[in-house]
A and B are shown apart, each in its own frame.
Chain A
Amino acid sequence: MEIKNKHVFWEALIVAILIFSSGILIGYILEMNRTNKIVTMYQESELNLLDVNVQKNLLSLNNIDCDGAIKQTIIFADRVYEEARFLDRYEDSAKLSQGLMFEHKRYDLLRTILWTNAIELKEKCGQKFKTVVYFYEYKPESLETRSLQTTFANKLSVIKEQFGNSIILIPLATNLEVNSIDYLLKVYNILETPTILIDEEIKISNIEDFKNLETYLK
């Protein structure tokens, strides 16, 4: 072997490591950018939640009308629901960092607060809307669960379009070790995923009951 070719294996290794590491770094930056985008969205949503909370507190002083508070809550819920879908897409494509899982937990907490707010709102203003809480497993291993959850999620997005402002749709992951969600699971006796809880009363876990989802919402 000629001298000029003698070290080519090492040279190729060094070049490959350099270029490959750059690729990984760029990938990591890309994922961090996506995480930052989610963080910004979350911060805006957090502000909205504060606003909703203030309105709810004002309710207790009888200084605000129910219709306004409900409207704000529904707008906020819709926004958080859309952001959740956005977050899902980014999460599916995240391979290098775990940052989005943390954001997912924060969103789940935000949605839990939203749900409790909605419950209070229904108590104070009457049953002017329905809450549809969708409990699902975060990144399930089982193909059966994954397929069932995709079907439930697809159907729920259609339902949301169909029923518009008369329902608040709140998806919550059950396996992210968030204490308040674990507590709510116990309170409402949610034992399996996916499960849909309508107005804190009706539970739908199997595909047969799921077929009649529309009738429960009418």
Chain B
Amino acid sequence: MQILPIIYFAYMFVSFYFLILILLLYFKNKNSLFESPKMTKEYTISILIPAYNEEKTIADTINAVYNIDYNNIIEIIAINDGSKDNTLNVIKSLASKYKNLKIFDKPNSGKADSLNKALKFCHGELIVVVDADSYPSKDSFKKMVGYFDDKQVGAVTAACIPRNRTTFLEKLQVIEYKVIAFTRKILEYVDGIYVVPGTGGMYRAEAIKKAGFDIHNITEDIEATWHLVHDGWKIRMCLATSVHTEVPNKIKPWYNQRRRWALGGLQCLNKYKDIIFRKGMLGYFIVPFFALGLFLGLIGMIIFSYLLLRRTITSYLIAKYSISVSSPILTMNSLYITPSVLNYFGLVLFFLFLLFTFFVLAIMKDRLFEKQSFFNLLFYMTIYLLSYPIILIVACRHYLGKKMIWR
């Protein structure tokens, strides 16, 4: 047997394994998917809102935070990280409206550093980080704090859902975010959550103050999560509530965001590579799972590019020779397609993932948003997901060249 079919089969098996893993976890835990622990105590909460050039969205974020139905928010700290736009003035205008809104104005030093500095002033038992373009639901805190009754829980995240969903790109991201929210909840059942996104993470103050945010990592939320798990804390996901966030509506900012995520992921992998197959779920599952995802994406893309290149060169040569000898480029015989086992496997796997995405959307639909059109779903499954490994390759190139792009 040739090497390419073997790689292809291995690739398929791993994808198939994770699909079954997620489905098994779902069926074992489906009754508790949308449940959240009952709030027994109103922990004191400090909210941090780091902002850099967010004049358009920060007012809505602060308003959303003040609308949250929770009685023990002791402070809200809006951090202006040296914004060049009108962000500071917007915050100041709201400070007169909201009495416990504190302003922390500082020169630009990045999100992680801003958060670390603000953490020193926080007094809450729990600390919530909300990006300045995100909007937690009214019931979010009441549904999330109950998890902290378990003394081992260090952080809780909620379903992060796009707020803007009118353009095609935004609609694709709605599908993506729903699938991510679902799988993140599923991974919770094996203590495998690998990120508490900055859009609305709730942390135990004791845990996050010790771990801090890594100023050298451009996805400080992933790194902080791994750090917490490394320190022995558990991470929980609350699917019963959500945080809405602004998602990029144009290709370039979307691409930049994804490249930043991929770069940050690579930084985390490099930082934690030594604990693979050591140190509990972080070493045995989270880091290998993350690494395998990147590796499979890269390998898949390399194989795909290799085959595409071979096919292109062959087609070009055939066309060139055929023209020179006045021979048909295509014959009826070459139009016959005899599918191989690999084609069948690929097709089956594609349909399984399509069904899985349908299934996830069906599960999430009642609790979250609108119907997805079939075309969007197909586009998402083919073109959109194909962009992941392409961006990953670009990120690898940047990473190896040490060109870190923050925004």
Interface residues, chain A, CB within 8 Å of chain B? 1-2, 4-5, 8-9, 11-13, 15-16, 19-20, 23-24, 27-28, 30-31, 85, 89-90, 92-96, 143-144, 146-148, 150-151, 154-155, 157-158, 207, 210-211, 213
Q: How many angstroms from the CA of A27 to the CA of B281 in the assembled complex?
A: 36
Cβ contact within 8 Å between B17 and A211 = no
- 11 residue pairs A–B, Cβ–Cβ below 8 Å: A4-B28, A11-B24, A16-B17, A19-B16, A23-B345, A27-B344, A30-B344, A95-B340, A144-B317, A154-B331, A155-B327
Chain A contacts of B29 at CB under 8 A? 4-5
Verify if B405 is at the interface (C-beta below 8 Å from A).
no
Chain B contacts of A30 at CB under 8 A? 341, 344
Cβ contact within 8 Å between A8 and B325 = no
Verify if B333 is at the interface (C-beta below 8 Å from A).
yes
Chain A contacts of B324 at CB under 8 A? 207, 211
Chain A contacts of B255 at CB under 8 A? none
Q: How many angstroms from the CA of A158 to the CA of B333 in the assembled complex?
A: 11
Given contacts A4-B28, A154-B334, contact A13 B341 (CB under 8 A): no
Give the distance to chain A from B157, nearest Cβ to Cβ, in Å.
18
Interface residues, chain B, CB within 8 Å of chain A? 1, 5, 9, 12-13, 16-18, 20-21, 24-25, 28-29, 189-191, 281, 310, 313-314, 317-318, 320-322, 324-331, 333-334, 336, 338-345, 348
Chain A contacts of B325 at CB under 8 A? 151, 155, 207, 210-211, 213
Query: Out of A2, A19, A92, A150, which one reaches B318, CB within 8 Å?
Result: A150
Cβ contact within 8 Å between B189 and A2 = yes
- Does more than half of chain B's interface fall in helix, strand or loop, or is it mixed? helix
Give the distance to chain B from A47, nearest Cβ to Cβ, in Å.
25
- Additional 14 contacts, C-beta under 8 A, given A147-B317, A154-B322: A1-B189, A5-B29, A8-B28, A8-B190, A11-B24, A16-B20, A20-B16, A90-B338, A143-B317, A151-B325, A155-B322, A207-B325, A210-B325, A213-B325
Given contacts A4-B28, A9-B21, A154-B328, contact A89 B342 (CB under 8 A): no
Given contacts A8-B190, A16-B17, A90-B338, contact A158 B328 (CB under 8 A): yes
Q: Ordered nearest first, which 3 A-B pairs have the shortest CB separation?
A: A27-B341, A147-B317, A93-B340
Cβ contact within 8 Å between A27 and B24 = no
Cβ contact within 8 Å between B336 and A12 = no
Q: How many angstroms from the CA of A2 to the CA of B341 in the assembled complex?
A: 39
Cβ contact within 8 Å between A27 and B345 = yes
Chain A contacts of B17 at CB under 8 A? 12-13, 16
Q: How many angstroms from the CA of A93 to the CA of B336 in the assembled complex?
A: 12
Of all chain A residues, which has the CB nearest B332?
A157
Chain B contacts of A154 at CB under 8 A? 322, 327-331, 334
Q: How many angstroms from the CA of A15 to the CA of B23 in the assembled complex?
A: 11
Cβ contact within 8 Å between B28 and A16 = no
Chain B contacts of A143 at CB under 8 A? 310, 313-314, 317
* Interface hub of A27, A146, A148, A151 (most chain B Cβ within 10 A): A151
Counting residue pairs across A and B whose Cβ atoms lie within 8 Å, the total is 116
Cβ contact within 8 Å between B20 and A12 = yes
Q: How many angstroms from the CA of A211 to the CA of B327 in the assembled complex?
A: 9
Cβ contact within 8 Å between B310 and A95 = no
Give the distance to chain A from B294, nearest Cβ to Cβ, in Å.
20
Query: Out of B1, B25, B189, B281, which one reaches A95, CB within 8 Å?
Result: B1
Query: Out of A4, A20, A148, which one reaches B13, CB within 8 Å?
Result: A20
Chain B contacts of A90 at CB under 8 A? 338
Chain A contacts of B1 at CB under 8 A? 95-96
Of all chain B residues, which has the CB nearest A2?
B189
Chain A contacts of B24 at CB under 8 A? 8, 11-12, 15
Of all chain B residues, which has the CB nearest A23?
B345
Cβ contact within 8 Å between A151 and B189 = no
Q: How many angstroms from the CA of A93 to the CA of B322 in the assembled complex?
A: 24
Q: How many angstroms from the CA of A85 to the CA of B324 in the assembled complex?
A: 24
Give the distance to chain A from B226, nearest Cβ to Cβ, in Å.
18
Q: How many angstroms from the CA of A42 to the CA of B310 in the assembled complex?
A: 33
Given contacts A4-B28, A5-B190, A155-B327, contact A147 B341 (CB under 8 A): no
Q: How many angstroms from the CA of A84 to the CA of B333 in the assembled complex?
A: 11
Query: Out of B13, B321, B339, B341, which one reaches A151, CB within 8 Å?
Result: B321
Of all chain A residues, which has the CB nearest B348?
A23
Give the distance to chain B from A18, nearest Cβ to Cβ, in Å.
10
Q: How many angstroms from the CA of A143 to the CA of B322 in the assembled complex?
A: 15
Cβ contact within 8 Å between A207 and B28 = no
Give the distance to chain B from A5, nearest Cβ to Cβ, in Å.
5
Query: Out of B5, B190, B341, B343, which one reaches A1, CB within 8 Å?
Result: B190
Cβ contact within 8 Å between A151 and B338 = no
Cβ contact within 8 Å between B313 and A95 = no
Given contacts A96-B341, A158-B327, contact A147 B321 (CB under 8 A): yes
Q: How many angstroms from the CA of A9 to the CA of B289 in the assembled complex?
A: 12
Q: How many angstroms from the CA of A12 to the CA of B340 in the assembled complex?
A: 27
Chain A contacts of B327 at CB under 8 A? 151, 154-155, 158
